[in-house]
């Protein structure tokens, strides 16, 4: 998925969510513990929410991350928090697809140092990287974020 199209889908879905919930930008920002200016940048399609804020949005409103980015028509998410780490889910998908870190990095335009950081400091990738990983590994964002069980 192209990054600009993903930003546009995210902005549109976020506006729809806020309208459905009857929320102002300030109220939404307070509910997901982020800066009002950041929410405005998302609504203008200038930036993505980072992965941790994205997880808070998904959990707070039980809305699929895949839906927020236009990757699925299924809006609702049955939240099933996974006990494994992002890196463990990434390794599972990588093995399943028969890819190496190098191949994933090439496909997703992610440097090898970034991938090794996911293991060492147990961090989430940037949202743009998550979108590329979902495409590369044929996985949902919800699964990558640890918010639902993997389903074939």
CATH number attached to the domain at 3-68:
1.10.260.40
Angle between helices 51-61 and 127-136 (to 10 degrees): 80
Domains 3-68 and 86-144 share a fold: yes
In this prediction the pTM is 0.86
Asked if 67 and 74 count as a contact pair (C-beta separation under 8 A), the reply is yes
Beta bridge partners of 76: 63
User: Architecture of 86-144 per CATH?
Assistant: Orthogonal Bundle (1.10)
- Condensed to tens digits (0 to 9), the pLDDT of residues 77-126 reads 777 777 788 898 999 999 999 999 999 999 999 988 888 888 877 778 99
Q: Give domain limits for the chain.
A: 3-68, 86-144
Predicted local distance difference test score (pLDDT) of residue 152: 45
- Condensed to tens digits (0 to 9), the pLDDT of residues 9-68 reads 999 999 999 999 999 999 999 999 999 999 999 999 999 999 989 999 999 999 999 999
């Amino acid at each position: 998925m192209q990054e600009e199209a993903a930003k546009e889908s995210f902005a549109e879905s976020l506006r729809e969510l806020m309208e459905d919930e009857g929320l102002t930008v300030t109220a939404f920002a307070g509910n997901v513990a982020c800066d009002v200016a950041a929410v405005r940048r998302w609504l203008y399609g200038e930036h993505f929410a980072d992965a941790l804020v994205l997880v808070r949005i998904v959990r707070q409103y039980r809305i699929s991350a895949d839906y927020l980015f236009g990757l699925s028509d299924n809006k609702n998410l049955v939240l099933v928090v996974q006990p494994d780490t992002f890196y463990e889910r990434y390794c599972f998908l990588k093995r399943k697809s028969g890819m190496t870190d190098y191949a994933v990095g090439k496909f997703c335009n992610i440097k090898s140092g970034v991938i090794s950081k996911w293991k060492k400091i147990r961090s989430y990738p940037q949202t743009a990287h998550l979108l590329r990983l979902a495409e590369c590994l044929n996985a949902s964002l919800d699964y990558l974020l640890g918010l639902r069980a993997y389903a074939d």
